[in-house]
Amino acid sequence: MMINKQELQAWIEEYLSGTDYELITLNVSAGNDILVEVDRLAGVDVDFCAELNHYLVEKLDDPNGQPGGDPIADYSLEVGSVSLTDPFKTKMQYEKNLGHDVEVLVDGKKLRGQLVSVDEDTFSVDIEEKVAVEGKKRKETQIVTHTWRYDEPKYVKYDLKF
């Protein structure tokens, strides 16, 4: 039996209500492999993920609240935080990374710079670029602020510098 993703999402949102956590990812495969990823500005607490996991197991194993009820289906469940290398999916993730270096893939180009502002519709990144300066033969390196709508780049993610 296939797990109902909408019902699962409703349970998760009910559990997260009143907390500062957001549901970032909910995937349910055809084989009932469930992936739940949450995030918050202050970072994700491992104990919170364990508690959410326990709550979901109780719901999945006993959806009608009846002790000894039948599980919805065979499933595997993974609850955790988003990876540092995952692209941002919500405005909160942009806010969480304000002041950090990010990688932006836009128009087929990877750009790297510092995330400097986030508002309702757009975000801005300061990027070092070589620009032509009037009266000078050579281009000079300057900080240029680029602003995009959230849906413009293919992805934006934390820039891990190695």
pLDDT in tens, 123-146: 999 999 998 888 888 889 999 999
Where are the CATH 2.30.30.100 domain residues in the chain? 91-158
CATH 3.30.300 region(s) of the chain? 5-81
First to last CA, the chain: 45
Look at residue 36 and tell me whether its pLDDT is greater than 90. yes
Q: Please give the CATH number for the structural domain made up of 91-158.
A: 2.30.30.100
Amino acid at 49: C
Q: How far apart are CA 79 and CA 71, in angstroms?
A: 19
71 — pLDDT class (breaks 50, 70, 90) = low
Between CA 2 and CA 6 the distance in angstroms is 12
Give the Cα separation of 36 and 53 in Å (integer): 9
Give the integer Cα–Cα distance in Å for 107 and 46: 37
pLDDT of residue 128: 95
